[in-house]
Each structure stands twice: as C-alpha cells, then as structure tokens.
Structure 1
Amino acid sequence: MSLQMLPEGQETPDVQVSWEDQTRINTFSKLNTRLTNLEEEYQKTKDEMEYLEDVSTEIELIDEDELVQYKVGDTFYWIKQSEVVERLEKDTENASASLSELDEKVGTIKDEMNDLKASLYAKFGNAINLER
C-alpha cells in the first residue's frame, strides 16, 4: 500500500534531488522564514507610526507651555508640549525610515524567492509546493 498526497490518478514524477537542489530548497525555506519575520516587523512599525501620528494630532491641541507625560523606554517623564511635538516628529521620521528600509528588504527577498521558485518549479513541477 502506498500513501499519496496527489489527486487520484496523478502519479509522482520520479525526479532525483541533487545537492544543489536541496540547497536551493533550504535557501527558499530560510528566505520564507525571514520574509515572514520582516512582514511582522513591518506591520508592527506601521502600527507604531500610525499611533505616533495620532498622538501628534492630539498633542497639538494642548498649550505649548503645558507639561505632558512622555514615555522614554519604560519610564514616563514630564516634558513641555513643544518638546514632545519635536520628539514625536523625530520618532515618526525614524519609523518612516525604518518602514522604507523594511520595504526594500522585503522586495529583495521576494525577488530572490521568485528566482528560486522558477528554477525549482522548472525541475520538479507539481512535485514541490513552494506557495505560502
């Protein structure tokens, strides 16, 4: 008795997996994991940036000389509103730069994965599944 995961009537092609093929498969797997991690980091940074923009909007409604609690690390400090606005702008710029960098990394990884997919599907056809 043989176990198959292919649709009934479809046979598994008999293709030899070379060392080079296995290396490509492993590389694809590593890139896939890295892509997932980068996408999670991208979403986290995007959420943080949206939060900073919302806070900036709210802070602008407060008088410039009034003290506002501002979180640095795990501690809150009382800082003038005008200084908080400056810090929020700087934090928003940093988050934006981080998003750009992450977007570039994601694009590079996707390009590498597409190249590997093309070569692996060309050799293995339906015998390999490289979809997420």
Structure 2
Amino acid sequence: MASQMLDKKDEIETEVNAEDQKMINLFGRLNNRKHELIKEKKFIEEDLEKARDSQDDLFLADDDAKFNYSMGEAFLEIDKAESESMIEKYISQMEESIAKIDQELEKINDKHKDLKVILYGRFKNSINLEE
C-alpha cells in the first residue's frame, strides 16, 4: 500500500467533530474484524478440505474397517459407519461456520459502504478509508 500525499490545493480544512470520530473509529474496528474473519475463513476452508479428503478415504475403506478417533489424549476405535456419520456432521458444521462468516463479511462491507459515503462526503480527499 503506497501512501499518497495530497497537494495543498486538494486538502480541505474540515474540523473533525465527535460524531465524525466515532464513524472513523467504527470504520477501523470493522476493518480489523473483517481481516480477522478472512483469516478465520481461510483456516476453516483448509480444515474443510482436509475433512473432505478424509471423507473420500473413508468411502474407499472396507466396510469392516475400524478407525481411531482422537478425543483429547485418548483414542477411540470406531467403525466405518460411525466415522462417516461423524465426518459428515463435522463438514456440515464447518460449512455453517463459513456461511456465518460470509454473512458477517457482507454486513461489514455494507456498513463500510455507508460510512464511506458519509465520510468522503464530509472530508472529500482529506480522508483515506482503505480496506
């Protein structure tokens, strides 16, 4: 991100009041939250890919195969049907988490747009609202 200096003719002297400062701070907090959500979503998507790979491996396994399931520091031996059920539930939970993150990201983007309209309207080129 390269920062750009404004020409003196482009600068506008506008006093920042308390309400403006609240909106600027909100924009910053939302921006931080957006980046946290993007990182979290990436982590979940990677985990989801691994779970789907495991699901494919389970599909190819023998019907009488037993699998070790890690629970804390202990391992439980479970059969193929139970393993398939558990991994389907896990995949479903991750897909729901991704959907929730996408919804929150959409709300943040909408609020960012609203704040940009207000703040750029007030401060013109004197403010830089980068995401």
Asked whether the two chains share a fold, i.e. TM above 0.5, the reply is yes
Relative distance call for 1:116 and 1:75 in structure 2 (3 A) is farther
Q: Aligned residue for 1:28?
A: 27
8 Å CA contact 1:38, 1:102 repeated in 2 = yes
Relative distance call for 1:8 and 1:26 in structure 2 (3 A) is closer
8 Å CA contact 1:65, 1:82 repeated in 2 = no
1:13, distance to aligned residue in structure 2 (A): 1.5
1:47, distance to aligned residue in structure 2 (A): 1.3
Cα distance in 1 for partners of 2:117, 2:73 equals 47
Q: Aligned residue for 1:102?
A: 101
Residue-pair matches, total: 128
Which structure has the higher relative contact order (CA within 8 Å, separation 6+)? 2
Relative distance call for 1:15 and 1:7 in structure 2 (3 A) is closer
1:12, distance to aligned residue in structure 2 (A): 2.4
SS of the equivalent of 1:114 reads: helix
1:68, distance to aligned residue in structure 2 (A): 1.3
Cα distance in 1 for partners of 2:79, 2:58 equals 11
Structure 1, unaligned stretches of length 5 or more?
none
Q: Aligned residue for 1:114?
A: 113
Q: Calculate the aligned-residue CA RMSD, in Å.
A: 1.7
1:44-83 maps to which residues of 2 (within 5 A)?
44-73=43-72, 75-83=74-82
> TM-score if structure 2 supplies the norm length?
0.88
